């Protein structure tokens, strides 16, 4: 079946495993805002069930869930245009994930690089959930028959696994039921790197606060973190090719380009030949200009958590209206007796 037989629908999510970073903003939220409109139905989720794959203090989880929702709202996710909810309020996610645990193969899971990175040397001590998490992610996406998933580069492999699960399910049951979802990974800012180590991505759960820019950081903190960001002694090159083998320099140029909505080459047209002493403060000013209004609005929203909770509740109801019929059809296809209807 052609992929376009499905309603064009976007699904994406962020884990409330800490405060939002510039990586989450550029790689995900900023693009989610742009995808709202007539071309797609948009479904955005605070994926709290994913967060508990590593230990979360209950009070912190509750706070982070509202903070991530506030970050999405403050950035321009409009609950009138998009469905915005937290995953734990729609039980169908966990149910479909179980079904997919029985479709996905161990060999596929063993290839997931993110598990290897997150588990490190201590794989035996990790939760089973951390290992199985891509199967829950496939359920998140396919529960809405989502056709497009805007994510950062780090999630590409998991969207590919989602396609493998959809394909195997369709094949095993002789149906054309689940779409083959496309990852949408375009432009600069798809892989924002750690400010202290250009070989690692910026993460909200990373060890040191100095390695990331948080969406709630104030102007002084942003300026300080960028001033201390690792770079090399050379000046900025005049074209993008000159950033080869200079991961930290490339990262800062790409962040500038993504924030300003221009190409990295345009950034270098302006700053090529300049030193970091000029570029870093300009980048700090730009980041503050873009992030300050968002963090101000986030703080305002977080002062009234009841309003956030009400938006999430309404969103969960709208999400269920799409998700539950798809889950029920999945049960029917698989042969479960459901005589309580
Ligand atoms: P954690 O460290 O807990 O995994 P995270 O910062 O990686 O947190 P996620 O909730 O795992 O955030 O991912 C949410 C979205 O943000 C995904 O679409 C992911 O691809 C994107 N994303 C995360 N980090 C980056 C980054 N450094 N650059 C671009 N996009 C990113
Ligand atoms: Mg992550």
Distance CA 214, CA 105 (A): 37
pLDDT digits (tens, 9 = 90+) for 253-286: 999 999 999 999 999 999 999 999 999 999 999 9
pLDDT digits (tens, 9 = 90+) for 229-254: 999 999 999 999 999 999 999 999 99
With a cut of 60, say whether residue 341 has pLDDT above it. Answer: yes
Is residue 16 a known part of a binding site? yes
Contacts for 29 with CB less than 8 Å, ≥ 6 apart: 14, 20, 71, 72, 75, 77
CA 297 to chain centre: 21
For ligand 1, whether the C-beta of 229 sits within 6 Å is no
* 8 Å CB contact between 48 and 63: no
For ligand 1, whether the C-beta of 330 sits within 6 Å is no
* 8 Å CB contact between 141 and 159: yes
| Residue of 12, 20, 25, 28 with the most ligand 1 atoms within 8 Å of its CB, for mutation | 28
Using pLDDT thresholds of 50, 70 and 90, give the confidence band for residue 56: very high
With a cut of 70, say whether residue 3 has pLDDT above it. Answer: no
CA–centroid distance, residue 115 to ligand 1 (Å): 14
Q: What is the mean pLDDT of the chain?
A: 96
Q: To which residue do tokens 């000159």 refer?
A: 242
With a cut of 80, say whether residue 332 has pLDDT above it. Answer: yes
Using pLDDT thresholds of 50, 70 and 90, give the confidence band for residue 127: very high
With a cut of 80, say whether residue 4 has pLDDT above it. Answer: no
Could you tell me the two tokens for 11? 């699904």
With a cut of 60, say whether residue 287 has pLDDT above it. Answer: yes
Q: How far is CA 273 from CA 233, 247, 261, in A?
A: 12, 17, 21
What is the DSSP pairing of strand 41-46 with strand 82-86?
parallel
For ligand 1, whether the C-beta of 212 sits within 6 Å is no
- What is the architecture, at CATH level 2, of domain 3-184+304-334? 3-Layer(aba) Sandwich (3.40)
Catalytic (active site) residue 318 = no
Could you tell me the two tokens for 70? 């506030």
For ligand 1, whether the C-beta of 154 sits within 6 Å is yes
Res 83: pLDDT: 98
pTM of the model: 0.96
Catalytic (active site) residue 280 = no
Q: Give the ligand at the shortest distance from the Cα of 251.
A: 1
pLDDT digits (tens, 9 = 90+) for 80-94: 999 999 999 999 999
Distance CA 321, CA 109 (A): 30
| Superfamily of domain 209-300, CATH level 4 | Tyrosyl-Transfer RNA Synthetase (1.10.240.10)
CA 81 to chain centre: 19
| Residue of 203, 247, 254, 257 with the most ligand 1 atoms within 8 Å of its CB, for mutation | 203
Q: What is the mean pLDDT of residues 142-151?
A: 98
Is residue 317 a known part of a binding site? no
Using pLDDT thresholds of 50, 70 and 90, give the confidence band for residue 216: very high
Q: What is the mean pLDDT of residues 190-219?
A: 96
**Residue ranges of domains in the chain:** 3-184+304-334, 209-300
Using pLDDT thresholds of 50, 70 and 90, give the confidence band for residue 5: confident
Distance CA 71, CA 199 (A): 27
With a cut of 80, say whether residue 32 has pLDDT above it. Answer: yes
How many other CB atoms are found less than 10 A from the CB of residue 153? 14
Q: What percent of the chain has pLDDT over 70?
A: 99
CA–centroid distance, residue 136 to ligand 2 (Å): 14
pLDDT digits (tens, 9 = 90+) for 153-203: 999 999 999 999 999 999 999 999 999 999 999 999 999 999 999 999 999
Nearest atom (ligand 1) to Cα of 154? 20
* 8 Å CB contact between 181 and 175: no
With a cut of 90, say whether residue 2 has pLDDT above it. Answer: no
Catalytic (active site) residue 116 = no
Q: To which residue do tokens 């995953």 refer?
A: 87
Is residue 24 a known part of a binding site? yes
* 8 Å CB contact between 237 and 272: yes
Res 1: pLDDT: 46
- C-alpha angle 48/10/186, rounded to 5°? 100
Could you tell me the two tokens for 229? 């960001």
Collapse the DSSP code of 53 into the 3-class scheme (helix H, G, I; strand E, B; otherwise coil) and give the result.
coil
Distance CA 158, CA 169 (A): 16
Q: What percent of the chain has pLDDT over 90?
A: 97
């Amino acid at each position: 079946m052609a992929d376009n037989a499905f309603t064009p629908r976007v699904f994406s999510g962020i884990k409330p495993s800490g405060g939002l970073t510039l990586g989450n903003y550029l790689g995900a939220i900023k693009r989610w805002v742009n995808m709202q409109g007539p071309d797609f139905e948009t479904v955005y989720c605070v994926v709290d069930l994913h967060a508990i794959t590593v230990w979360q203090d209950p009070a912190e989880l509750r706070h982070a869930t509202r903070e991530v929702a506030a970050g999405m709202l403050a950035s321009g996710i409009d609950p009138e245009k998009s469905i915005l909810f937290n995953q734990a309020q729609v039980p169908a996610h966990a149910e479909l994930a179980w079904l997919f645990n029985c479709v996905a193969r161990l060999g596929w899971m063993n290839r997931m690089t993110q598990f290897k990175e997150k588990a490190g040397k201590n794989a035996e001590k990790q939760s089973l959930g951390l290992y199985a998490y891509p199967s829950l992610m496939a359920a998140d996406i396919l529960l809405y028959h989502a056709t497009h998933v805007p994510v950062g580069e780090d999630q590409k492999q998991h969207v590919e696994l989602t396609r493998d699960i959809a394909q195997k399910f369709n094949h095993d049951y002789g149906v054309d039921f689940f779409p083959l979802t496309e990852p949408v990974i375009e432009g600069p800012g798809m892989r924002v790197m750690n400010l202290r180590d250009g070989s690692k991505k910026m993460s909200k759960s990373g060890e040191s606060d100095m390695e990331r820019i948080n969406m709630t950081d104030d102007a002084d903190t942003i300026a300080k973190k960028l001033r201390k960001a690792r770079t090399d002694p050379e000046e900025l090159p005049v074209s993008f090719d000159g950033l080869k083998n200079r991961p930290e320099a490339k990262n800062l140029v790409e962040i500038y380009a993504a924030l300003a909505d221009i190409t990295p080459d345009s950034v270098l047209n302006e700053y090529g030949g300049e030193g970091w002493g000029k570029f870093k403060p300009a980048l700090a000013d730009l980041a503050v200009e873009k992030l300050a209004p968002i963090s101000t609005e986030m703080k305002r929203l977080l002062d009234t958590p009841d309003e956030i909770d009400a938006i999430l509740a309404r969103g969960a109801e709208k999400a269920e209206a799409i998700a539950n019929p798809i889950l029920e059809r999945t049960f029917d296809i698989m042969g479960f007796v459901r005589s309580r209807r």
